[in-house]
Every structure is written in structure tokens, then in C-alpha cells.
């Protein structure tokens, strides 16, 4: 019987399922985890470029004071859609794609537990994304109320396209929940004999915990948008104070989803970096058990900190104190992780190939984002920071190095495994350094303009902020154009190039795709004797 990690066998596996389904239909009907993982990754990259193009419009408008390129209304649509597309279209599907590709191989499973549902959960995404983007072309324009879509702005004053936006969010949520159920079922039921929970690679662990977070919070988001729908069309007053509702209720519901969502976008990164740093330090990961517990602690704490986004809405002092201290507490397990990565690197035989460069940048820059988050957690200080560019700087320092850099690291690390070819290391290093410089040029100055009082989500600003905004825009254009180089590197790697070794990273332990025993016998492909 062919090994499940053999790329050729994945196509045999598909042929067996659908007969000779050729060309396009192979991709439409496939139940193969590798094909579906590939589709998720390509989809997320297309959405990354789409959301990135919107960011370019935002930075072009903010290049200098005064209104020069777009109308304020369209600027608001761009800020809203940029956030929604990056979160639901780029980062989350990319992580699900990596999970699809790697988890079955890491645990010695023949495929995902529910292959047909896997196919369905992917194919919902393009339709949801098209619906979301199509709102921009509808009468009255697309959503213009920020990616957090606070009521009553998103209910009483919303454009007619909001109904389609709500439906798109529902579909994206359904896809996420199905993907999460599949991942949990796969990890709990299809591990190779001898692979106990505490022997699983950390990427598998982080995704298991992430999947539980998804199942817990996506229905909360569904509830929020359903209540919006009722307020808009059916005369209810969930968020309308005139009818006995409360606009602040929306914020509580949204952030009860939104804060765990932030960790959904970061926990898989922790797993990726925990696979890459040991490989390029040529050492086992320091503190495996503490990493598992730290991940679980972060997931638990993420549910009890949501109102730190709401210090300025008038919550009681005791509430401010609780959410302040609970938020600071998250720094403890996060610090455990950072110290473990640093200790893994300490006195290791490190080499700095591109995956390691992105991972090291992840550790350093994510820590900066963590420190500014700690500043934001201080309730009395947050009254000054709230809704300024300081917040924008903070969450981009968490999400760009934290999610995007980790995804790049994973792609470079596993591309040889996926394609059988090595990518162009020189070009990849250029991609890293241009991304690194562009990212810091874009977001570091935002700390300063934020502390000086520049509010976020505005198309114009006072003259004293002009220089820093110019630097931010130049950095943004640099970062954005660099991603076209990444596209070139990946296509070049897929089309050919130097053949990859079985263990492409010389001296690396190869822990991430070896399992202690053969894959278990299962009943949903050809038995070994019927070839």
C-alpha cells in the first residue's frame, strides 16, 4: 500500500474516488485533503491581494492631508472591506488550508475525517467572498461602518447592501464551523497507533484548540448579524434605544466573538513557529508540555477579556478593573511561549533560511505588538489611546507579523514538501527583507501619530501628522508590491526548479512529517489487497 505522505498517492486516491475526473472537475469534486488545502491557500492569497489593494487605496488617500483620491464615503467602505476581507478571506482560510494539508500527514491519517464536508466547507467560501465584494457595486455602496460594524451605524444608517453583507458573514461562519468540526474529528479519531495527544506536533495542538474556539464563537457572530437583520427588516429594537434596545449590547456580543477571533488568527501561527524554530536551531522544542498548556490558557482567557475593547462606553469601575487585570493575565502564557522559542534558539546550531527569518521576525515583532497591547489594557490610559492610530499600530503588529509572516514561513517551509521542488532562496530572502522593512515602515510611525491624537478611520487629518503618514504610505506601497514577488516565487517553485530532498532542510530533525508507526488501517479507501 502506498504511503499516505506520497504526493503521487494523493492523485491515485482521487482517481479512485471519482474515476477519471479530469481538469476542472477534479478540483470541484475533490475530497483529497491536499487538493482542498491547496484551494484554500490559493483562495486566501487572492483575497489577500484584494484586501491589500484596498489598503493601498487607504494609504494613497492618507499620503498627504486633504482629500485627493477618493470620497470620504468610499474611504469608509475601503476601511470596512479591507478589515473584513483580511480577517475572513485571507488569514482564516490560509490557516485552514495549512491545517488541511499538514494535519493528516502529521498525525498519520489517510485524509480528513469527513472528506465531503471538507469539500463543501471550501466551496462555500468563494461564493461568500464574491457576495461580500459585490456589495461595493450595489446601490448606496458597500458596508461603510467599519469592520466591527457597530450598531446603530450598521442598522439605522446602513446602505441597502448590508443585507447581502450579513448573508456573506453567515456563509463564512458556516464554512468555519464545518472546517473546525472536521479538524477536531480528524485529530481525535485518526491519529496513528502510538501517537498520544502529548506526542502530537504543536501545530496539531494549536489547531485543535483553535477549532474549539471557532465552534464556540462563530455562532455568537451569527447571532449578532441575525439581530442586525431583524432590526433592519422586521421592526425589532435589539440595538435601537428608541425601542428599548441598547447599542452597547451590540458591542458586547461582537467582542465576545471578536476577541477569541483574534486568537483564532494567532494560535495556528504559534504552532507553525514551534515547528520551524526547532528545525533551524537543530534542537528539540524547549518546554513542549508548557507550550500545550500555555496555548490552552490563552484560549480560555480569550473568553473573559472582551470588554477591554469597550473601556470608553461607560462600563462600571469594577468591570474596568476586572477586564484590565484579566487582559494583563494573558501576557503570562504568551510570555511562556516567547521564552520557550528564545530558549529553543539559545545555543542552537541556527541557520537563517527564509522560513527561519520569517519565524524570528514573528517572535520579535509579535512581542512588540504584545507590549503595545499591554499598554492598551491599562483602563485609564486606554481613554487616551482608544480609537487612535495607536490601536491600528498595535493590532497590525500582532496580525501582520503574527499571522501573515507565520503563513509565509509555513509556505516556504512546506513548499518543498508540497511541490517536490525547492523555491528560489535568494528571491525569497529579498521577499522577506522587503516585507520586513515595508511592514515596520508602515506601522511603526502609527504609534507616534496615535499617541499624538490622530483618530483612526478618517480620510483627512491635521497638518502635523503629515510626515509620519507619508512614511507609513511609502512603507505600505513597499509591503504591498513585495507580495507580487511572493506570487512569482511560488509559481516558479511549482513549475520546477531544483528537486527537493526527502528531508529538504539539511540537518533538520524532520519531526514534522514523521510518525512513530504506520498509518492505521481504515475503511474509506481501497483495502490493500484490492489494487
Report DSSP letters for 514-530, one per residue: --SSPPPP-SSS--TT-
Q: Residue 2's pLDDT is what?
A: 38
Q: Residue 256's pLDDT is what?
A: 98
- Overall average pLDDT of the 78-90 stretch: 98
Task: Read off the pLDDT band of 503 (50, 70, 90).
Answer: confident
Q: Residue 491's pLDDT is what?
A: 97
Active site residues: 82, 111, 147, 175-176, 259, 261, 263, 274, 308-309, 334, 337, 456
Q: Residue 23's pLDDT is what?
A: 83
- Overall average pLDDT of the 3-7 stretch: 41
For the chain, the domains span 30-513
d(CA 460, CA 62): 7
- Overall average pLDDT of the 494-509 stretch: 79
Give the per-residue SS3 of 88-138.
Answer: HHHHHHHHHHHHHHHHHHHHCCCCCCCHHHHHHHHHHHHHHHHHHHHHHHC
Q: Residue 506's pLDDT is what?
A: 65
Report DSSP letters for 326-342, one per residue: HHHHHHHHHHHHHHHHH
pLDDT score of 8 more than 90: no
Measured at the CA of 274, the angle between CA 183 and CA 485, to 5 degrees, comes to 90
Q: Residue 20's pLDDT is what?
A: 53
Question: What's the grid cell of residue 175?
Answer: 464554512
pLDDT score of 523 more than 60: no
pLDDT score of 522 more than 70: no
In degrees rounded to 5, what are phi and psi of residue 388?
Answer: -105, 175
Residue 421 DSSP symbol: B
pLDDT tens track for 44-67 = 999 999 999 999 999 999 999 999
pLDDT score of 13 more than 70: no
d(CA 459, CA 153): 18
pLDDT score of 180 more than 80: yes
Question: What's the grid cell of residue 407?
Answer: 503563513
Q: Residue 200's pLDDT is what?
A: 96
Task: Read off the pLDDT band of 21 (50, 70, 90).
Answer: low
Q: Which of 10-19, 82-91, 243-252, 448-457 shows the lowest per-residue confidence on average (mean pLDDT)?
A: 10-19
pLDDT tens track for 386-430 = 999 999 999 999 999 999 999 999 999 999 999 999 999 999 999
Instruction: Please give the share of the chain, as a percent, with pLDDT higher than 70.
Output: 91
Report DSSP letters for 355-377, one per residue: HHHHHHHHHHHHHHHHHHHHHHT
Give the per-residue SS3 of 420-486.
Answer: CECCCHHHHHHHHHHHHHHHHHHHHHHHHHHHCCCECCCCCCCHHHHHHHHHHHHHHHHHHHHHHHH
pLDDT tens track for 85-94 = 999 999 999 9
- Overall average pLDDT of the 127-132 stretch: 98
d(CA 64, CA 68): 8
| Contact in structure between 92 and 264 (CB atoms under 8 Å) | yes
- Overall average pLDDT of the 491-506 stretch: 88
Instruction: Please give the share of the chain, as a percent, with pLDDT higher than 90.
Output: 89
Sort residue 66 into left (φ over 0), alpha (ψ -120 to 50) or beta.
left
pLDDT score of 528 more than 80: no
Measured at the CA of 48, the angle between CA 485 and CA 369, to 5 degrees, comes to 95
Q: Residue 4's pLDDT is what?
A: 40
pLDDT score of 10 more than 60: no
Cα of 365 vs its chain's centroid, Å: 16
Residue 89, CA distances (Å) to 20, 126, 352, 523 in order: 32, 9, 30, 34
Q: Residue 192's pLDDT is what?
A: 95
Helix ranges, 265-316 (H): 267-281, 288-301
| Contact in structure between 183 and 207 (CB atoms under 8 Å) | yes
Nearest residue to 165 (alpha-carbon basis) of 190, 194, 188, 135:
135
Average pLDDT, the chain: 92
Task: Read off the pLDDT band of 1 (50, 70, 90).
Answer: very low
pLDDT score of 112 more than 90: yes
Q: Residue 22's pLDDT is what?
A: 76
Query: Any idea which architecture 30-513 has in CATH?
Result: Up-down Bundle (1.20)
Task: Read off the pLDDT band of 12 (50, 70, 90).
Answer: very low
Q: Which of 207-221, 393-407, 449-463, 501-515 shows the lowest per-residue confidence on average (mean pLDDT)?
A: 501-515
Q: How crowded is the C-beta side of 320, counted as CA atoms within 13 Å?
A: 14
d(CA 265, CA 90): 10
pLDDT score of 172 more than 60: yes
d(CA 312, CA 486): 41
State yes or no: cis peptide before 492, omega within 30 of 0: no
Q: Which of 7-11, 297-301, 386-390 shows the lowest per-residue confidence on average (mean pLDDT)?
A: 7-11
- Overall average pLDDT of the 179-198 stretch: 97
Nearest residue to 145 (alpha-carbon basis) of 301, 254, 297, 304:
254
pLDDT score of 513 more than 60: no
pLDDT score of 443 more than 60: yes
Amino acid at each position: 500500500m502506498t504511503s499516505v505522505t506520497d504526493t503521487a498517492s494523493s492523485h491515485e486516491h482521487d482517481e479512485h474516488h471519482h474515476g477519471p475526473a479530469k481538469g476542472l472537475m477534479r478540483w470541484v469534486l475533490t475530497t483529497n485533503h491536499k487538493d482542498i488545502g491547496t484551494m484554500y491557500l490559493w483562495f486566501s492569497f487572492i483575497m489577500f491581494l484584494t484586501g491589500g489593494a484596498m489598503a493601498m487605496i487607504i494609504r494613497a488617500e492618507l499620503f498627504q492631508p486633504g482629500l485627493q483620491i477618493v470620497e470620504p464615503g468610499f474611504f469608509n467602505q475601503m476601511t470596512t472591506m479591507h478589515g473584513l476581507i483580511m480577517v475572513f478571506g485571507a488569514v482564516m482560510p490560509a490557516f485552514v488550508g495549512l491545517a488541511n494539508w499538514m494535519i493528516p500527514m502529521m498525525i498519520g491519517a489517510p485524509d480528513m475525517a469527513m472528506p465531503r464536508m471538507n469539500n463543501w466547507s471550501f466551496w462555500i467560501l468563494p461564493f461568500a467572498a464574491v457576495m461580500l465584494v459585490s456589495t461595493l457595486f450595489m446601490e448606496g455602496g458597500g458596508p461603510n461602518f467599519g469592520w466591527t460594524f457597530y450598531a446603530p451605524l450598521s442598522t439605522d444608517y446602513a446602505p441597502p447592501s448590508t443585507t447581502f453583507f450579513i448573508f456573506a458573514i453567515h456563509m463564512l461562519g458556516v464554512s468555519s464551523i464545518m472546517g473546525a468540526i472536521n479538524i477536531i474529528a480528524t485529530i481525535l479519531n485518526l491519529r496513528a497507533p502510538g501517537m498520544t495527544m502529548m506526542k502530537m506536533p504543536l501545530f496539531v495542538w494549536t489547531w485543535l484548540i483553535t477549532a474549539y474556539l471557532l465552534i464556540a464563537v462563530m455562532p455568537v457572530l451569527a447571532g449578532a448579524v441575525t439581530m442586525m437583520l431583524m432590526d433592519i427588516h422586521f421592526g425589532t429594537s435589539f440595538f435601537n434605544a428608541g425601542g428599548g434596545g441598547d447599542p452597547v449590547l451590540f458591542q458586547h456580543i461582537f467582542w465576545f466573538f471578536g476577541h477569541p477571533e483574534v486568537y483564532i488568527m494567532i494560535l495556528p501561527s504559534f504552532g507553525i513557529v514551534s515547528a520551524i524554530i526547532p528545525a533551524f536551531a537543530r534542537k528539540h522544542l524547549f518546554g513542549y508540555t508548557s507550550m500545550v498548556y500555555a496555548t490552552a490558557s490563552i484560549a480560555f482567557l480569550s473568553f473573559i477579556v472582551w470588554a477591554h475593547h469597550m473601556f470608553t462606553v461607560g462600563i462600571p469601575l469594577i468591570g474596568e478593573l476586572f477586564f484590565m487585570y484579566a487582559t494583563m493575565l494573558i501576557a503570562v502564557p504568551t510570555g511562556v511561549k516567547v521564552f520557550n522559542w528564545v530558549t529553543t534558539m539559545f545555543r542552537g546550531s541556527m541557520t537563517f533560511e527564509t522560513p527561519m527569518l520569517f519565524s524570528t521576525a514573528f517572535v520579535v515583532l509579535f512581542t512588540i505588538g504584545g507590549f503595545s497591547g499591554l499598554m492598551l489594557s491599562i483602563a485609564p490610559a486606554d481613554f487616551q489611546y482608544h480609537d487612535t492610530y495607536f490601536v491600528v499600530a498595535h493590532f497590525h503588529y500582532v496580525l501582520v507579523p503574527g499571522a501573515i509572516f507565520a503563513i509565509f514561513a509555513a509556505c516556504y517551509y512546506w513548499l518543498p514538501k508540497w511541490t517536490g521542488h525547492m523555491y528560489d532562496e535568494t528571491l525569497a530572502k529579498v521577499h522577506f527583507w522587503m516585507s520586513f522593512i515595508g511592514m515596520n515602515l508602515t506601522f511603526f510611525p502609527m504609534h507616534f501619530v496615535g499617541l499624538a491624537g490622530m483618530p483612526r478611520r478618517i480620510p483627512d487629518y491635521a497638518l502635523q501628522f503629515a510626515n509620519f503618514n507619508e512614511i507609513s504610505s511609502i512603507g505600505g506601497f513597499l509591503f504591498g508590491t513585495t507580495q507580487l514577488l511572493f506570487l512569482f516565487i511560488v509559481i516558479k517553485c511549482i513549475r520546477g526548479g531544483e528537486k527537493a530532498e526527502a528531508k529538504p532542510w539539511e540537518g533538520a530533525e524532520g519531526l514534522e512529517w514523521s510518525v512513530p508507526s504506520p498509518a492505521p488501517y481504515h475503511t474509506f479507501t481501497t483495502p490493500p489487497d484490492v489494487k
